[in-house]
Amino acid sequence: MQDYLAQLADYGKILLRSDGSSLDGIFSTMESSRGEALRSARKALRLTQQQVADKIGVTRAAVGQWENDEPISFPNLKAVCEALGIDVVAAVSGKVVKAYSGAAIASREKAFVKPEIASSTPMDPELYDENYFVKKSLVPVYMMSTIDNFAPNGNALLSEAPVLLAPRHESVPPDNSIYLIAQTNNVMEPIFEPNISFYASSRHTPIVGEYVIAQVSFDRTYAPGKRPTGILLLPVYFGKLEEFTNSSIVISQINPKSHHTVPLNMISALHSVLGPE
């Protein structure tokens, strides 16, 4: 099992440092960000933001925020990509690629599946089933890496959407909210060592003493030419939940030893980590 998880982490490091050249021929048109990819696809179809919003049942303002690289949930990302007829995985990487037909998806999977790792299958008709991942025996895989100067908050970075779908191990509970994190940072070493993957849940309510991931909001105003490209990584705090009050939470990390007090109004999501394998 651990060999399999280590393989995911190694694959994730390749994705994170890739300049996109290894994907030539799969995703052909590079944009500068996920939001600009969505905007380019919408304009190519001559649709207004309101028309896209009406297609998926959200507000025009939400579509505008997504096109400006504001946070977007994975279900909403899938919905807007389906409305625009573009590939979900490509959009996350800032590229506009027409959605594959079923035959093309099968062909692409056959060519690009890593050992024991299944590639994503966007545009599946059953994608919106609330038990989709359990029924398909898959688990979404997110990447976590070290913090950088694009995000002043947090102690780690987490991919905004899954980088791939992996086969669901028999030990994983039948819970659709569970996802796998392949991480390369060391803020919780030695409990969570670099390259050791672990599971988390978006449904389980964390309690004091548990390990958590707190996603935080941040200012996405980048200097000219400094907008990050490729996989969009969001700032998070990863560590042990030490305290929970009406106004903030306190998360501790091990390496280096530190405590982070995070105001609740800064937290966009708080997920429970199921512990290292």
Residue 38: which CATH number? 1.10.260.40
Virtual torsion, Cα 234, 263, 149, 36, nearest 10 deg = 40
Three-class SS of residue 223? Answer: coil
The answer to whether 251 and 212 have CB atoms below 8 angstroms apart is yes
User: Is there a single domain that holds both residue 209 and residue 262?
Assistant: yes
User: Is there a single domain that holds both residue 136 and residue 106?
Assistant: no
Residue 211: which CATH number? 2.10.109.10
Say if 168 falls within a structural domain.
Answer: yes
Residues 6 or more apart in contact with residue 102 via CB below 8 angstroms: none
Three-class SS of residue 26? Answer: coil
Provide, for the chain, the percentages of residues in helix, strand and coil under a 3-state DSSP scheme, each rounded to the nearest 5.
Answer: 30, 25, 45
Angle at 127 between CA 121 and CA 131, to 5 degrees: 115
Tens digit of each residue's pLDDT, the chain (277 residues): 445 445 444 444 444 433 333 333 333 344 457 888 888 888 888 889 999 999 888 889 989 988 888 888 777 888 888 888 887 777 776 777 766 444 444 444 443 333 333 334 444 555 556 788 888 888 888 888 887 666 678 899 888 778 788 888 888 889 988 999 988 888 888 888 877 789 999 888 889 999 999 988 766 665 555 555 555 778 899 999 999 988 999 999 998 899 999 999 888 889 999 876 5
Residues 6 or more apart in contact with residue 10 via CB below 8 angstroms: 195
> Of the residues 112, 145, 177, which one is the last residue of a structural domain?
112
| CA-wise closest residue to 53 among 44, 37, 42 | 42
Count structural domains, the chain.
Answer: 2
pTM for this prediction: 0.58
User: Is there a single domain that holds both residue 162 and residue 261?
Assistant: yes
| CA-wise closest residue to 163 among 102, 106, 212, 231 | 231
Say if residue 84 is exposed, middle or buried (CB neighbours under 10 Å; 0-12, 13-18, 19+). Answer: buried
What is residue 184's DSSP assignment? -
> Of the residues 112, 143, 171, which one is the last residue of a structural domain?
112
The Cα 90–Cα 72 span in angstroms is 15
Say if 270 falls within a structural domain.
Answer: yes
The Cα 52–Cα 90 span in angstroms is 19
Say if 117 falls within a structural domain.
Answer: no
pLDDT of residue 225: 53
Extract the tokens encoding 267.
């937290």
pLDDT of residue 112: 37
Residues 6 or more apart in contact with residue 104 via CB below 8 angstroms: none
pLDDT of residue 260: 93
Range of the domain at 42: 18-112
Token pair 């998360």: residue: 251
Angle at 201 between CA 110 and CA 193, to 5 degrees: 80
Say if 138 falls within a structural domain.
Answer: yes
Say if 229 falls within a structural domain.
Answer: yes
pLDDT of residue 4: 46
